[in-house]
Amino acid sequence: MAVPLDYETLRLIWWALIGVLLIAFALTDGFDLGAMALLPFVARNDLERRMVINTVSATWEGNQVWFILGGGVIFAAWPYVYAVSFSGFYLAMFLVLAALILRPVGFKYRSKRPDPAWRARWDWALFAGGLVPALVLGVAVGNVLLGAPFRLDGNLRTFYEGSLLGLFSPFALLAGLLSVAMLVMHGAGWLAMKLEPGPVQHRARQYGAVAALAAVALFAAGGACVAWGGLGFRMAEAVDTGGPSNPHLARAVTAPGAWLNNFAEHRWMMTAPVLGLFGPVVALTGLRGRRDALAFVGSACAVSGIIATVGLSMFPFILPSAIDPASSLTVWNASSSQLTLFIMLVVVLVFLPIVLAYTTWAYRVMFGRVRAEEVRLNPDLY
């Protein structure tokens, strides 16, 4: 079957689409995670906690679709990456999934009994369901920047030589804390926009302002670590960008500071770190000035910029290897076949607009502030 798009273009399209899906997940399910991570701090009684929970009750299930789509796309478009990352990071992924499973259970069971102790336990489960994924996913990104401890033999069998505790290195923890600060800021912006004026909204703004300052500081610290900490990989030789997918066809080597090379060579890429630094400033301005829509837009820009910075800095690498750089997986050596990528692209062009249209319609219909009186009187709310 003749494919109208060349292999290199299809690989670039799918690399960009993975980035779009990850950003979409962080923008949508990210504010759910951030709001639940703030639950014990912004809400002081049962009514206030119900108000916070009901800001995300109508959308959290739909938001998780982007997480599932991201995993599905990695499986179909980058099978080597899926095999190495999901097997090597298995325990970390299990920890994330276990925490995410707590969310639906917490939402559904919390209001089944009026007992304060019963509800308090589920509130802490919801808190864990928000904090743990935000932290561990950030730690995972930090380990990707450092390089994962895996190697491939001559038959492309994977040997992973890391451990769960080994994932939590200082730089990885820095990335995890940045992820938490970023999503807490985003969740605070959502709460400020969705809650009626009152003490809960005020506390959300206060915590969101602290998270915004932390996001700026941690993002800058991460950039300094990359620049002066010797992080980075590069290709040792010219790559056939339209050649077959085989990690052994082109070698990669460690190159301290190489993660910044793309920004020097392609100035337009600087848009991402600029958004990552100034987005939290905009969010902070909105939170302190009680301009809730501006705060949410600022946090969304920050989330998009920080994630895009990681992807653009690493290109063409997707998953480098710290113990055997020659086994590193890139856009050019780890993709599915040209025909597979084209068929998937056709499917995406058909169905993604439908998903986006439905999501937009759902948010429009369910938009509005959560009010204490409505939560108190409506038995259908959590």
Q: Does residue 197 lie within any of the structural domains? A: yes
Q: Does residue 233 lie within any of the structural domains? A: yes
**Host domain of residue 183:** 14-377
Q: Does residue 3 lie within any of the structural domains? A: no
Position 280 scores a pLDDT of 95
Position 11 scores a pLDDT of 94
Q: Does residue 117 lie within any of the structural domains? A: yes
Residue 250's CATH number:
1.20.1630.10
- Decide: pTM greater than 0.85: yes
Q: Does residue 30 lie within any of the structural domains? A: yes
Q: Does residue 8 lie within any of the structural domains? A: no
Q: Does residue 9 lie within any of the structural domains? A: no
Position 134 scores a pLDDT of 94
What is the number of domains present in the chain? 1
Q: Give, for all 382 residues of the chain, the pLDDT tens digit.
A: 667 888 999 999 999 999 999 999 999 989 999 999 999 999 999 899 999 998 988 888 878 888 888 888 888 899 989 888 888 888 888 888 888 888 888 888 888 888 888 989 999 999 999 999 999 999 999 999 999 888 888 888 888 887 777 788 899 999 999 999 999 999 999 999 999 999 999 999 999 999 999 999 999 999 999 888 778 888 888 888 888 888 887 788 888 888 999 998 999 999 999 999 999 999 999 999 999 999 999 999 999 999 999 999 999 999 999 888 888 999 998 899 999 999 999 999 998 899 889 888 888 888 888 888 888 887 777 7
Position 60 scores a pLDDT of 81
Q: Spell out the SS3 assignment of the chain.
A: CCCCCCHHHHHHHHHHHHHHHHHHHHHHHHHHHHHHHHHHHHCCCHHHHHHHHHHHCCCHHHHCHHHHHHHHHHHHHCHHHHHHHHHHCHHHHHHHHHHHHHHHHHHHHHHHCCCHHHHHHHHHHHHHHHHHHHHHHHHHHHHHHHCECEEECCCCCEEECCCCHHHCCHHHHHHHHHHHHHHHHHHHHHHHHHECCCHHHHHHHHHHHHHHHHHHHHHHHHHHHHHHCCCCEEECCCCCCCCCCCCCCCCEEECCCHHHHHHHHCHHHHHHHHHHHHHHHHHHHHHHCCCHHHHHHHHHHHHHHHHHHHHHHHCCEEECECCCHHHCEECCCCCCCHHHHHHHHHHHHHHHHHHHHHHHHHHHHHCCCECHHHHHHCCCCC
